[in-house]
C-alpha cells in the first residue's frame, strides 16, 4: 500500500508556511498576556499624565508608547515570525512617515523662525 503525497511540487516550503498562519505558533494564553501587558502600559501612561515626574515625563511617555506599538506589531500582527519582506514593507512606510514629520517640523519651525 503506497501513499503518494505531492507536497514539495506545489511550493509548500518554509516560506509559504511563514506567510501563512502557523507563523505565530502562539497559544491564546500568550495573547492574553500580551493584552495584559498592553493594559498595564496604558494604565502607566495615564498615570504619568497625573503624576509630576518632571523632565522624565515626555521620554517615559514616548518609551511606553513605543513599547505598546512594537508589541502589537510583533505579537498581534505576527510580524516577529513572518516573512522578512513584510517587515521591510511596513517599517519602510513607518520610517518614511517619521521622515515626513521631521521634514514638516523643519519647514514650519526652523525655516520660518529665523
Partner 1 sequence: MSTAATVEHGAGHDAHGGGHGHTSTGLSNNKLAMWLFLGSECLLFGGLISTYMLYRGRNGDGPGPDQVYSIPFTSVSSFVLLMSSLTMVLAVSSAQARDVAKTKLWLTVTALLGATFVGGQVFEFTDFYRKGLGYTTSLFSSSFYTLTGFHGVHVTVGVIMLLAVVGMLRTNRIPGDRAEVVELVGLYWHFVDIVWILIFTLVYLIPS
Q: In the complex, which residues of this chain contact partner 1 (CB under 8 A)?
A: 1-7, 9-13, 15-16, 18-22, 24, 26, 28, 31-32, 34-35, 38-39, 42, 45-46, 48-49, 58, 61-62, 64-65, 68-69, 72-73, 75-77, 83, 85-86, 89-94, 96-98, 100-101, 104-105, 108-109
Q: Which three cell numbers stand for residue 86?
A: 513584510
Q: Which is nearer to partner 1, 112 or 114 (CB)?
A: 112
- Nearer CB in complex with partner 1: 6/114: 6
Q: In terms of Cα–Cα distance, which of 46, 47, 99, 90 is closest to 72?
A: 90
Q: What is the Cα–Cα distance from 81 to 15, expressed in whole angstroms?
A: 11
From the CB of 56, what's the least distance to partner 1, in Å?
13
Q: Sign of dihedral through CA atoms 78, 84, 90, 92?
A: positive
Q: Which residue has the cell 501612561?
A: 45
CB of 25 to partner 1, least distance (A): 10
Taking alpha carbons only, the member of 59, 61, 64 closest to residue 38 is: 64
Nearer to partner 1, 90 or 114 (CB): 90
* Closest CA relative to residue 75, chosen from 39, 26, 42: 26
Q: Is the Cβ of residue 8 or residue 114 nearer to partner 1 in the bound state?
A: 8
Amino acid at each position: 500500500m503506497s501513499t503518494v503525497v505531492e507536497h514539495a511540487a506545489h511550493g509548500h516550503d518554509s516560506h509559504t508556511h511563514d506567510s501563512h498562519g502557523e507563523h505565530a505558533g502562539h497559544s491564546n494564553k500568550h495573547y492574553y498576556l500580551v493584552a495584559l501587558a498592553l493594559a498595564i502600559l496604558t494604565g502607566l501612561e495615564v498615570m504619568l499624565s497625573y503624576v509630576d515626574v518632571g523632565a522624565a515625563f515626555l521620554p517615559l511617555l514616548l518609551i511606553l508608547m513605543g513599547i505598546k506599538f512594537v508589541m502589537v506589531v510583533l505579537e498581534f500582527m505576527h510580524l516577529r515570525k513572518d516573512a522578512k519582506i513584510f517587515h521591510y514593507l511596513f517599517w519602510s512606510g513607518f520610517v518614511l512617515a517619521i521622515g515626513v514629520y521631521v521634514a514638516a517640523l523643519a519647514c514650519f519651525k526652523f525655516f520660518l523662525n529665523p
